[in-house]
A and B are shown apart, each in its own frame.
Chain A
């Protein structure tokens, strides 16, 4: 069976056609739409223009883009620091516990995203569990507004994507050759120096993959800002949603989506390049 190219291609054809028609073509359409003009009564006027992209960098919308990037960036940083530390702790646990710990760290990731986000509404709303606990431990006065804040949006993003970061960070940490760390310690390197100069550089690839994933899914996120931000903190995802389902400005919505796709591709390529370079450097360092 192996090596018969004709049969391989025939096996691939249905799926490739499906993706061609229902993924590539629609995305190409979005890209095309982003260069057309919005009709006066909504709809699309087939006149080429760059005005949608000009509108996207207009201070009002550029502000939303930058704000989305900032919120996604904070969520990514927190998720990667916690996720890396948790993965490190799992990899340091007794061997027989590791599979179980990892399984339970990843498990919440498979439950419904809406439900996981809803849980935080129940926790954070003014009648919810966290304000209740705050009052109970003697918080002076009324607890602050927790739901519908930027902090709530960031918490929701970290909560939803943390399992994936733990999973992405775990594999490279586990693969790390312990002799390298022992060698560093034997040669008099402090624990911190060993971590910073041996462990971290050799295991950063997982953290980078996790970071790209969290950032891409956070910046284009629609559910979390809508539910935990209460619509008060617009992010690009909500803006795109609005253009398509209420403002009826499809070309502008398409331009915003095209920008999202561009950011995603850029990060994926950068991460692939960085991973390549990191593995190259690590190899030359561990050999030289």
Chain B
């Protein structure tokens, strides 16, 4: 789409402003995490001491461990369920709008609503809450995201190669392992990486379904408690590490499945 030059300058200016708005806060956090004094107003020299502080903080280390357990478990379950769901939906003759709504719902429902719904549900059933209930909750939205990434890939899938394989007498499982899976694998991996990122970052649902004990605190719950307490330089270092982790997952996902992140 070409525009007239007068508008082109306006557009460039606008884009520069929008990108500044989006990236200055993030860049500032990263810069501050290396600031010796830790205060935003004075630059007192380059230092990695806040990262060292972070490693000494046992609350952060244990909550990071919990987060990895929750993210890995929920991603594993969600990847299997979401991929099967995508295959099932795409091979069905009829697709009802109720089914589409069910798959779409976990992605759009406000976190706080799902959080209190699960809290009420688990308490009513008398389920002891902990890391396992956070996993169960995270699978709900993760499987929807995996499913949508895999479905996008299946839209371009040539089903005739599956028919060919089955006509030639290959068992269903062999057809899946040797024909279908190799084609959709990039999308499955990308979906899993996406799910992992979402689970690592998710706060509200984890907060409500983690139960009372300190033993099931995840990293975002810990971060929320720290932020409420006040601005501390350690959070800047932690924020930088978390952003690097998300970025790495996202870059990998994009590498496996080009076009997934909208670009």
Which residue numbers of A lie inside 8 Å of B, CB to CB?
1-5, 7-16, 18-19, 22-27, 29-30, 33, 82, 85-86, 88-93, 99-108, 110-123, 125, 127-129, 132, 159, 162-163, 166-167, 170, 173-174, 176, 178, 191, 213, 216-217, 219-223, 226-227, 237, 240-241, 244-245, 250, 253-254, 257, 260-261, 264, 268
Q: Would you call B112 and A114 a contact (CB within 8 A)?
A: no
Q: Would you call B112 and A167 a contact (CB within 8 A)?
A: no
A4 nearest in chain B by CB position:
B91
Q: Would you call B208 and A93 a contact (CB within 8 A)?
A: no
28 contacts between A and B (CB under 8 A): A1-B91, A19-B106, A27-B114, A86-B14, A89-B12, A90-B15, A103-B261, A103-B262, A103-B263, A105-B22, A110-B246, A112-B201, A112-B220, A115-B243, A118-B227, A119-B29, A121-B227, A122-B40, A122-B231, A123-B28, A127-B39, A163-B22, A216-B110, A219-B110, A220-B110, A223-B203, A244-B119, A268-B108
Chain A CB within 8 A of B81 CB:
yes
Contact of B180 among A1, A85, A216 (CB under 8 A): A1
Chain A CB within 8 A of B82 CB:
yes
Residues from chain A with a CB closer than 8 A to the CB of B41 are 127-129, 132
Complex Cα–Cα for A166 and B263 (A): 12
Residues from chain B with a CB closer than 8 A to the CB of A167 are 262
A2-B159 contact given A106-B262, A114-B203, A257-B116, CB 8 Å threshold = yes
Q: Give B236 Cβ to nearest chain A Cβ, in Å.
A: 8
Complex Cα–Cα for A103 and B250 (A): 11
* Additional A-B contact list (10), CB under 8 Å, known A92-B2, A112-B223, A221-B110: A7-B172, A15-B85, A25-B121, A26-B118, A88-B11, A110-B246, A112-B242, A115-B243, A119-B239, A237-B110
9 shortest interchain CB distances as A-B pairs: A220-B110, A11-B88, A103-B263, A12-B88, A89-B11, A119-B25, A26-B117, A15-B85, A26-B121
Which residue numbers of B lie inside 8 Å of A, CB to CB?
1-4, 7-8, 11-12, 14-15, 18-19, 21-23, 25-26, 28-29, 32, 39-41, 80-82, 84-85, 87-89, 91-93, 102-103, 105-106, 108-114, 116-121, 124, 136-137, 139-140, 143-144, 147, 159, 162-163, 166, 172, 175, 180, 197, 200-201, 203-204, 208, 220, 223-224, 227-228, 231, 235-236, 239, 242-243, 246-247, 250, 254, 261-263
Residues from chain A with a CB closer than 8 A to the CB of B14 are 85-86, 89
Q: Give B128 Cβ to nearest chain A Cβ, in Å.
A: 16
Q: Would you call B124 and A110 a contact (CB within 8 A)?
A: no
Contact of A16 among B39, B85, B231, B246 (CB under 8 A): B85
Q: Would you call B81 and A18 a contact (CB within 8 A)?
A: yes
A219 nearest in chain B by CB position:
B110
Residues from chain B with a CB closer than 8 A to the CB of A14 are 80-81, 84-85
B197 nearest in chain A by CB position:
A110
